[in-house]
Amino acid sequence: MSVPLYEAKAELFRLLGHPVRIRVLELLQDKPMPVRELLAAIEVEPTGLSQHLAVLRRSGMVSAHRDGSTVVYSLAGGDVAELLKAARTLLTQMLTGQNELLTELLGAERESR
């Protein structure tokens, strides 16, 4: 293997590490969408969106094809949904973990007063 797997994973995560790109992937999960529609759904300048789309395209996560004067993007292959779901699960687990710790600490403080 020329590129170790953990490098590839890190690279993948780095690609996903931007709110706009997450939004794009989430939106494309429902159905393919023209840029115009993505633009309407996400708060971002056209040029910024293009750049993020370019990143996703270069990485092979989405593919684009022209339809007349507009460009339509769609997810390319892989199970992105699963990854996003795992992220969501992990986030909620981490947050509840922190909450438990917090309430525990608060309880301890109350008792010590």
Is position 55 an interface residue for its own copies (rule: CB under 8 A)? Answer: no
CA 9: distance to chain centroid? 14
H/E element, 109: helix 80-111
Is position 18 an interface residue for its own copies (rule: CB under 8 A)? Answer: yes
Q: CB under 5 to 8 A by kind: which of DNA, its own copies, none does 107 bind? A: none
Are the C-beta atoms of 52 and 21 separated by less than 8 Å? Answer: yes
For the chain, helix, strand, coil in percent to 5 are: 70, 10, 20
Among 12, 22, 27, 44, binds DNA (CB under 7 A): 44
**Nearest residue (CB) to its own copies, 2 versus 47:** 2
**Cα–Cα distance measured from residue 21 to residue 24, given in angstroms and rounded to the nearest whole number:** 5
Piece in contact with DNA (CB under 7 A), picked from 22-30, 47-55, 95-103, 105-113? 47-55
Can you give the binding site for its own copies, defined by CB under 8 A?
4-19, 21-23, 26, 60-61, 76-80, 82-91, 93-94, 97-98
